[in-house]
Chains A and B, each alone.
Chain A
Amino acid sequence: MDIKDDKQKVLLLVEDLISMECFKNEDDKIIPFFSDVSLCVKSQEIWGISADEAKVAQILCEILGSMRTYYSGKCQITLHGKAIKTKKLSIENVFYIDNTNIILDNMNVLEELMFLTTKKTKNKFIAKKQEEMLDLLISLGLGYISLTMVSQLYATEKLLLLVLIACFSSADVIILNAVKYNFSQEEIEIFLKIVKYIKSKNKSLVIATMEPKLIGMLCDKTVFLYKGHMSFCGTVKELQQKADKVKFVIRSENVKELIEPLKSILPGWKIKKDNDFLYLFNYSKTEIQPKQFYKLLSDNNIFPDIIKINKGRVENSFTELMEFN
């Protein structure tokens, strides 16, 4: 992820936000969907919002997009360093996407992009503009659908198209409420290119998603809400380093037989089996370097097929956050 400086403009400021919507917890207590949520979205930042419940992430996303009111706290969109107070201006400065209804089905992708992004101009400029748009689609990896009818696109492809359209709007903040959508690996790779394009245009993107992989690949910063509280808010790197306790992944045909010997040589560690894989969580206070770990295994005659060093995964981090909160 990119390292940012302090010169970035603050575009969206959230402080101690409490949702209007409530639910009953196990103790029959009525508590808000979330409370005390604070975050600060700056220009060129990509934020991922996730939660234990999709509805929570969705509601937070809707509040950020000025689509829903909140009980208390602050949710300010700033323009030229000043907080926007009118609803009209807020809506103009935030491009909120939660469905694909605004896309017209009777055009192809290039036509749609031209229709929704290009101002009415003289005919002689249209061909040039259209060529630029075609080049852009190809450079972003969307060449394979550039001349395909929109009606033939998958919902996730339509979302990507909408995000691209949002890049041409006056809005500085793009909010994508994608909790109901699952992106394929290819689509995530395209999304990554679109994210770079968003950053080049000095805009920011906030994605609400239940896909940790999407956050891991696209986002600079993330917020994770668990049981109505902000269980993490910070950079994705920080999340992966701090919360993901999986240090090594072992693969072997007879993983079952390895569990006991590993437990004996790694006191304080947790071992989780998943098919042919063993996930080794370090809950002890001492850090073990990969070199030491290999030596420890070979000294104890443990020779798995594959040993993988885990550099941190958002998915593991979220699971950890839920387990230890």
Chain B
Amino acid sequence: MPNERKLTTEDDIKAMREELISAKTTRYGFKVNKKHIKKIISNTIFTLIIGCLVLLIAQVIMVKRSGLTPNIFGYYLYNITTGSMHPTYPVGSIIISHETDPYNLQVGDVVTFYSTSGDRITHRIYSVNYDENGGISYQTKGDNPSNTVDKELLTPDRIEAITLFKVPFI
């Protein structure tokens, strides 16, 4: 037993009570400081990332089963596998596209669509054509100078997405 026995005083209890009251008034039971805010933010970001990943995986599985292209909230990710869009999108580029209104496209828009034979193609709209009944179709062409205009006219029902941008440094 130490010589000096320090007993609890009224002041000690008062100070403790104040500490407890201040702890109770904060949301998390402790004083929120910068460290805690950082922790909360990093936790939120981490949760969001994990959430997105889970969604993505679920989406991919679901789409794979249905035979469609995977997308998140209407955004598509495509890999350029041919040189038809060179130099705008060289082979190996990844582009981000988004679902769009296929009846409201303009000359110059780059779209991803299915050919009549079922291949997925990304080309630029060269011209917009209207028939006698008011129907719309598009003439497309790859950016590569060696390309000629596509023979098939593109009907809106085969359009999947409009290209937004190319993922840089890839």
A124–B36 alpha-carbon span in the complex (Å): 14
Docked-complex contact A147 and B13, CB < 8 angstroms:
yes
Q: Given A127-B24, A147-B8, does the pair A134, B13 have CB atoms closer than 8 Å? A: yes
A-B CB contact pairs (8 Å), 15 listed = A123-B29, A124-B27, A124-B28, A126-B29, A134-B13, A134-B20, A138-B13, A143-B8, A145-B8, A146-B8, A147-B13, A147-B16, A148-B5, A152-B2, A152-B5
CB distance from B36 to the nearest CB of A (A): 10
Docked-complex contact B12 and A151, CB < 8 angstroms:
no
CB-based closest 7 A-B pairs: A123-B29, A124-B29, A127-B23, A147-B8, A127-B24, A131-B20, A147-B12
Docked-complex contact A149 and B29, CB < 8 angstroms:
no
On chain B, the residues within 8 Å of A146 by CB distance are 8, 13
Chain B interface mostly: loop
CB distance from A180 to the nearest CB of B (A): 16
On chain B, the residues within 8 Å of A152 by CB distance are 1-2, 5-6
Say if the beta carbon of A324 comes within 8 Å of chain B: no
Say if the beta carbon of A130 comes within 8 Å of chain B: yes
Contact residues, A224-239 vs B (CB, 8 A): none
Say if the beta carbon of A119 comes within 8 Å of chain B: no
Interface size class for chain B?
10 to 19
CB distance from B49 to the nearest CB of A (A): 25
A151–B6 alpha-carbon span in the complex (Å): 10
CB distance from B117 to the nearest CB of A (A): 61
CB distance from A127 to the nearest CB of B (A): 4
On chain B, the residues within 8 Å of A126 by CB distance are 23, 29
Docked-complex contact A144 and B2, CB < 8 angstroms:
no
Contact with B along A106-136 (1 / 0, CB 8 A): 0000100000000000111111101100100
CB distance from B29 to the nearest CB of A (A): 3
B16 nearest CB neighbor, chain A only: A147
A227–B8 alpha-carbon span in the complex (Å): 45
CB distance from A296 to the nearest CB of B (A): 51
Docked-complex contact A123 and B30, CB < 8 angstroms:
yes
